[in-house]
Homo-oligomer: A and B are copies of this chain.
């Protein structure tokens, strides 16, 4: 990423802070409370606190990073942020780091400091109890929500990265098809490790998440458990392969279903999932309410008394699951706009027939949409 992109992103969140009267925002990426906004704002891959000052305080436009691994931070983040020591220097206690940063910035008494909206209630009480000079803010509509909104619409650099990840994904899909057809890939593990190998060979950081490879005996589950085993893959019935690759931090997320010697009920299941995917894609354009697409698919399935046990889709980006949400829920207010990239992944699952899911990644453009990935039903 170009260094200036980070300054531009920081400027956006500072604009929001000034509007809200917030002087200091703390972001936290620690075990149990991951936050990829730190990577989005600085390039640093994680395990850190990030402090952003706004208003008349900051002497410069850099943010203050408190990283667990200072050596790693020097490589990834020093163009957009200042390091004021390691997370360990503050006993791994965000409250102590806040005190140090407040002093560094000369934060006036009574200033508003926002802590992450995911802060547990008992921990929130500690913040309020121990930080008495400042006004601690922690709410749903905070910087986290603002960052989610910003990140839901990808800029051109992000679109380039996801397109590159999609190209690699598509190459791997073609190779998976030929290798399962030829019998070279015969087990769930062989499929999963093939993807790991091919992704890194092409310069990816890795896969977006642990690959789910479920042979015909296990495809009934939405997310197979365990994720993959040494059991056969691609035998009679329906086998599901759900994976993604991560390029410069940017994820794809696709699902293929492999079908062999289906019975009529299984054929019907597959045909319905394919129709649902087409129906959803046909509605994907700027201005559409995300929940309307999901509702159309749910109602299409309901006509045949089928029920999809998960959302229709979700945004992809630095995280494998981010915004917008493509779910049929009354409180889902996401409206599609150009630059949004999300999955469409209709699926049906049956303890006897097995499962079928078809998932592709879609970019909303000015004039409609572009399907970035080539996941499909593969007949063996």
Residues of A bordering B, CB below 8 Å: 31-32, 34, 45-47, 68-72, 76, 86, 88, 91, 117-122, 124, 138-140, 189, 192-193, 196-197, 200-201, 205-206, 210, 220-223, 225-230, 309-310, 321, 329, 349, 351
Whether the Cβ atoms of A206 and B226 lie closer than 8 Å is yes
Would you call B69 and A223 a contact (CB within 8 A)? yes
Residue numbers in B under 8 Å from A230 (CB-CB): 200-201
Q: How far is the CA of A227 from the CA of B121 in the complex (A)?
A: 33
- Residue of B with least CB distance to A205: B226
Q: Which residue of B lies closest to A120 (CB)?
A: B118
For residue A117, which residues in chain B have a CB less than 8 angstroms away from its CB?
Answer: 120-122
Contact of A118 with B69 in the complex, beta carbons under 8 Å: no
Interchain CB contact under 8 A, A228 and B210: no
CB contacts (< 8 Å) of A68 on chain B: these are 222, 309-310
Name the residue of chain B whose CB is nearest to the CB of A225: B45
Beyond contacts A120-B121, A200-B230: 14 other A-B pairs, Cβ-Cβ < 8 A, are A31-B321, A45-B225, A69-B221, A69-B222, A71-B220, A76-B225, A119-B121, A120-B120, A121-B121, A189-B196, A189-B200, A193-B193, A193-B197, A206-B210
Cβ-neighbour of A121 out of B34, B70, B138, B201 (below 8 A)? B138
Given A189-B196, A205-B226, answer yes or no on A72-B221 (Cβ-Cβ < 8 Å).
yes
Q: What are the 8 A-B residue pairs with the smallest beta carbon separation, nearest first?
A: A121-B124, A205-B226, A122-B140, A118-B120, A45-B225, A69-B222, A121-B121, A121-B138
Binding site of A, secondary structure by majority: helix, strand, loop or mixed?
Answer: loop
Q: Which B residues lie within 8 Å of A46 (CB)?
A: 225
A-B contact pairs, 7 of them (CB 8 A): A69-B309, A86-B309, A120-B121, A193-B193, A200-B230, A201-B230, A206-B210
Task: Compute how far the CA of A18 lies from the CA of B119 in the bound complex, rounded to whole angstroms.
Answer: 28
- Contacting residues, chain B, for A34 (C-beta < 8 A): 32
Give the shortest distance, in Å, between A244 (CB) and chain B (any CB).
Answer: 14
Bound together, the chains give a CA A206 to CA B189 distance in angstroms of 10
A205: chain B residues within 8 A (beta carbon): 226
Q: Pick the contact of A71 from B69, B86, B192, B349 — CB < 8 Å?
A: B349
Cα distance, A46 to B227, chains bound together (Å): 12
- Contact status A200-B225, CB under 8 Å: no
A298 CB to nearest B CB, Å: 11
